[in-house]
Amino acid sequence: MPKRYIGQSVPRKEGREKVTGRARYVDDLTFPGMLYGATVRSQVARGQIRGIHFEGSVPWDEFTIVTARDIPGKNCVALILEDQPYLAAEQVNHPEEPIVLLAHADRYLLEEARRAVRVEIEPLPAVFTIEESLAHKEVVWGENNVFKSFLVTRGDVESAWKQADFIVEGEYHTGAQEQLYIEPNGMIAVATPQDGVTVWGSLQCPFYVHKALVALFGLPKEKVRVVQMETGGGFGGKEEYPSMIAGHAALLAWKSGRPVKIVYDRAEDMAATTKRHPSRTRHRTAVSRDGKLLAMGIDFVIDGGAYTTLSPVVLSRGTIHAAGPYFCPNVRIRGRAVATNLPPHGAFRGFGAPQSIFALECHMNEVAKAAGLTPDEFRRRNFIEQGQTSAVGQVIRERVDMRRLLDRALELSDYHAKTKRLAAENAHSRLKKGIGFASFMHGAGFTGSGEEYLASVVSLEATPEGRVRVLAASTEMGQGTNTVFAQIAAETLGLDYEWIEVAQPDTAAVPNSGPTVASRTCMIVGKLVESAALGLKQTLIRSGLLRENYEPAEFRQACRKYIEQFGPLKSTSQYQPPPGVHWDDEKYQGDAYGTYAWAVYVAEVTVDTITCEVRVDDFVAVQEVGKVIHPVLATGQIEGGVAQGIGYALFENVVWQEGRMVNAQMTNYIMPTSADVPPIRVYFEENPYPHGPQGAKGIGELPMDGPAPAIVNAIEQATGVRIPRIPVTPEVLLEALEGELV
Amino acid sequence: MSEAAGKVSVACKVNGKPVVLCAYPMARLLDVLREELRLTGTKEGCGEGECGACSVLLDGELVNSCLIPVLQAEGTDITTIEGLASGDQLHAVQEAFLACGGAQCGICTPGMVLAAVNLLAQKPSPTDAEIRTGLAGNLCRCTGYMRIFEAVIAACQRTGIRS
């Protein structure tokens, strides 16, 4: 019997390199003759550039200096719209906008020089909040400050308001959140007009960077090469901004003729690179006397910052998830992404869904209250079921049992007994305890027809020794890509896990398996690994060199013979949508996702009513994610996401001043430490998804959605006060407890 | 030495070997380890002593090497992540991190492993609360710390100290 690998916690592929310090990240590389690069930024939120002055006693002739005029191709970071320049030429639209690049071999002199560049800017009026942008306090983008809007309609909301027994309204806000990967962004570039451009860096999406560099330099595709180094965390923060840094490093390398390294320090990384979109959500909900949802009106707005970047896509996911795992016959969701003069906001694990789900899951507790039901009973009456249709018109074909997930989560957390007990105890203590939960789902893979457009490709190749290499552009950034791909290939081919290698993502050597985002790597790309592996096996069997039920030694022999007789042995697989999946981009209706992961999370908190600190004491995470490929990795994904969600709910507060993040330090932007996290108890239900590898669904983003509303609902139970915004810092809680929160 | 003016010689031991470092007196130990000795397992996460990615053991104490001027290393005995394993034989804590999933992206791992080694040197059988506070100076954004706690406990069991 061949060994089984699916469902087994095999050692992480690159784990040994990581625990010994041998794993190579971008800052661990040096090249002979290498220069360091630095970026001079606007510091003014919006204005016209009037002049650039190189001042101080800096030996300027030793420096490579690049401005917009030095750009050989298009001065825009190619992504969705072409509105964001690599280097501002005339106007700046946010305070971290790059204007001048400098390079020098001496890092200390470089920093002195960066401070000695004075950019003269004539300020223009700017907008800094969603409210200011919507009110057109100043039009700073396009005709109306709106990057993108969606309108999702189902049934007839207007007539439903008239039949409602209760109507409940609420407004909810979420703040920006910094990804705070522990490895800051960085790139090294080598670039000459003869050989083209090569970059090595910390990044999630090699072909995004590739596309951007091709446009920036006006080079043919084959003259641009992007190599991913070991990447010290991404969480979405290395999805788009690496294209900017790669371009900057390459422009300096192109002009100087020397390799150039740009590694951001923590302050620059936090202030200048993308963060999670702040949001405002307004809910108006009609409910019947027996606690059935009749209508949901949702107005969802996110702050996109100064340029379009990925905001339309973030908005799309946030909009689709805004009505949650509930059935409601009448729904109207308006989603808008608006412009401000903040640095562009971007991808962060969850991608719009944590924002809209926070609002929804707080609001559902308020609706339950109005209908005279407990939060759990209200949800039981409204959970979507197999065969029902979602807000965007998707008929849920898969088996879904939210009631079971809810029951299990409430039982594991001892929710009902604690609810009673804590209420009695709270009466006599300054420490108020509460328990709260959130129920939610997260779509896996790109939205709608996104996967069809991507048309991702994976190849497997065998060596004469019978080793198999997985060739894909999907990156390892801690989540376990290498390990999971090797497990899937080993299981499919009946080979030892050790005989599978996963190639380093390098655009010159691997096919485009798409970006490493959207909880798609295991489910979508893993499925391509599986089908390419099947193709490889079939090739050998059809060539007559291998029998059906082979031993690993026979496979190795067959590989050798095949390569001797026919040359390279390679199998390629390209994405095909599952049958019967339809999406209408115009009407925004149809199968938004091939499948969803479903979950109920429960948080228990202690609120100190004197210091206004909140502590999470216990956390239960129950989810259905299809087949679990690797229990330890999957559990680790959930635990890590929950910890980020706790930070999002309580600690992580980006403080803005005139469009700048002024607490761009780990000292005063606080993420959870080992002393701040509760026991995080993770439970999986398995319901194999037929179109995922061995039944797997996406998992990466799911755990970001639930913690914040669960915690805020727990705070409400503890204190009786609904706090409609996160993060719930002690200052926010103090105002709320004193009834002064606006 | 024919180095630039202002540099000083600092004699110390790194991973058991005597070395003489040549650097500006206020150069960060982190940079000297990474650039002079090419010991790149020690990472920079924040440069201000908050994240612990640059942790090394200096005379048996866990320090943030981004906050140590190299001059302060004179006469000391320094252990970096590269000095932990004996050849191919991993340290029990490294083994435990591998087995329990304590490393994800790996950038905090060298510092975190050294913090765990340091914790176990001081408290061979730590309570859960001692593990939490013992590692609180080392930030991890991937794991939510649960797998790391488990690795520390597994390392104790491996060395037979905690049952």
Residue range A269-283, pLDDT digits in tens: 999 999 999 999 999
Measured CA to CA, the distance from residue A594 to residue A442 in angstroms comes to 11
- Rounded to an integer, the average pLDDT of A483-498 is 98
- Rounded to an integer, the average pLDDT of A568-594 is 93
- Rounded to an integer, the average pLDDT of A547-551 is 95
SS3 A485: helix
Kindly report the CATH class assigned to A31-124+179-272. Answer: alpha beta
For residue A585, the model assigns a pLDDT of 85
B41:A9 CB<8 A:
no
Measured CA to CA, the distance from residue A740 to residue B118 in angstroms comes to 47
Residue pLDDT, tens place only, A651-704: 999 999 999 999 999 999 999 999 999 999 999 999 999 999 999 999 999 999
Q: Does residue B98 carry a pLDDT above 50?
A: yes
A-contacting residues of B 3-32, CB under 8 Å? none
Distance from CA of A613 to the nearest CA of B (A): 18
As a residue count, chain B comes to 163
Give the HSE-up count for residue A219: Cα atoms under 13 Å, Cβ half-sphere.
26
For domain A15-23+450-574, the question of CATH label 1.10.620.20 is answered with no
In a mutational test of the A interface, the residue from B34, B46, B100 whose CB has the highest number of chain A CBs within 10 Å is B46
Q: Does residue A741 carry a pLDDT above 90?
A: no
For residue A740, the model assigns a pLDDT of 79
B105:A182 CB<8 A:
yes
Band (pLDDT 50/70/90 cuts) for residue B1 is very low
- Rounded to an integer, the average pLDDT of A16-43 is 98
Contacts of B98 in chain A (CB under 8 A): 11-12, 15-16, 19
Residue B110 at interface with chain A, using a CB cutoff of 8 Å: yes
For residue A581, the model assigns a pLDDT of 87
Average pLDDT, chain A: 97
Whole-structure pTM value: 0.98
B147:A642 CB<8 A:
no
Q: Give DSSP secondary structure letters for A672-701.
A: --TTT---EEEEEE----TTSGGGB---SS
Q: Map tokens 């790109």 to a residue.
A: A446
Output the CA torsion sign for B101, B106, B110, B116: negative
ipTM confidence score: 0.97
For residue B96, the model assigns a pLDDT of 97
Residue B41 at interface with chain A, using a CB cutoff of 8 Å: yes
Could you tell me which chain B residue has the CA closest to the CA of A28?
Answer: B40
Residue pLDDT, tens place only, A181-219: 999 999 999 999 999 999 999 999 999 999 999 999 999
- Rounded to an integer, the average pLDDT of A532-536 is 98
Residue A668 at interface with chain B, using a CB cutoff of 8 Å: no
In a mutational test of the A interface, the residue from B146, B147, B152, B153 whose CB has the highest number of chain A CBs within 10 Å is B146
CATH of domain B92-158: 1.10.150.120
For chain A, percent of residues with pLDDT exceeding 90: 98
SS3 A16: helix
- Rounded to an integer, the average pLDDT of A575-585 is 91
Q: Give DSSP secondary structure letters for A228-252.
A: EPB-S--TTTTTSHHHHHHHHHHHH
Size of interface A-B (CB pairs under 8 A): 169
Q: Map tokens 């000083």 to a residue.
A: B8
A666:B48 CB<8 A:
yes
Contacts of A266 in chain B (CB under 8 A): 45-48
- Rounded to an integer, the average pLDDT of A133-142 is 98
For residue B117, the model assigns a pLDDT of 98
What is the distance, to the nearest Å, from the Cα of residue B23 to the centroid of all Cα atoms in its chain? 21
A640:B135 CB<8 A:
no
**Are the C-beta atoms of A621 and A681 separated by less than 8 Å?**
yes
Q: Which of B100, B105, B136 sits opposite A477 (nearest CB)?
A: B105
- Rounded to an integer, the average pLDDT of B125-139 is 97
Q: Which of B42, B90, B145 sits opposite A674 (nearest CB)?
A: B145
Measured CA to CA, the distance from residue A614 to residue A507 in angstroms comes to 47
Could you tell me which chain A residue has the CA closest to the CA of B106?
Answer: A18
Residue pLDDT, tens place only, A40-63: 999 999 999 999 999 999 999 999
- Rounded to an integer, the average pLDDT of A238-253 is 98
B105:A9 CB<8 A:
no
Domain ranges of chain A: 15-23+450-574, 31-124+179-272, 279-447+587-737
For residue B160, the model assigns a pLDDT of 59
At the second CATH level, the architecture of A279-447+587-737 is 2-Layer Sandwich (3.30)
For residue A1, the model assigns a pLDDT of 58
Q: Does residue A540 carry a pLDDT above 70?
A: yes
Cβ-proximal residues to B81 (8 Å cutoff; 6+ apart), any chain: A20, A21, B41, B42, B109, B110, B111, B113, B114
For residue A622, the model assigns a pLDDT of 98
A643:B143 CB<8 A:
yes
Within this chain, domains A15-23+450-574 and A31-124+179-272 share the same CATH topology = yes
A635:B101 CB<8 A:
yes
Tally Cβ neighbours within 10 Å of residue A699: 26
Band (pLDDT 50/70/90 cuts) for residue B161 is low
Please, is A74 exposed, middle or buried when counting C-beta atoms within 10 Å of its C-beta (0-12, 13-18, 19+)? middle
For residue A580, the model assigns a pLDDT of 86
Measured CA to CA, the distance from residue A316 to residue B62 in angstroms comes to 47
Cβ-proximal residues to A64 (8 Å cutoff; 6+ apart), any chain: A35, A101, A102, A103, A104, A252, A255, A256, A258, A260
Cβ-proximal residues to A444 (8 Å cutoff; 6+ apart), any chain: A518, A519, A520, A523, A524, A593, A594, A595, A596, A597, A692, A697, A698, A699
Band (pLDDT 50/70/90 cuts) for residue A78 is confident
Kindly report the CATH class assigned to B8-83. Answer: alpha beta
Q: Map tokens 């429960």 to a residue.
A: A602
Residue A617 at interface with chain B, using a CB cutoff of 8 Å: no
Distance from CA of B137 to the nearest CA of A (A): 8
Domain ranges of chain B: 8-83, 92-158
Q: Which of B84, B101, B108 sits opposite A632 (nearest CB)?
A: B101
Structure tokens at A58: 């800096």
Measured CA to CA, the distance from residue A376 to residue A371 in angstroms comes to 12
B-contacting residues of A 145-184, CB under 8 Å? 179-184
Residue B100 at interface with chain A, using a CB cutoff of 8 Å: yes
Q: Does residue B163 carry a pLDDT above 50?
A: no
For chain B, percent of residues with pLDDT exceeding 90: 92
- Rounded to an integer, the average pLDDT of A327-349 is 98
Backbone angles phi, psi at A415, to 5 degrees: -60, -50
Residue A633 at interface with chain B, using a CB cutoff of 8 Å: yes
Q: Is the peptide bond before A727 cis (omega within 30 degrees of 0)?
A: yes
B-contacting residues of A 261-280, CB under 8 Å? 265-266
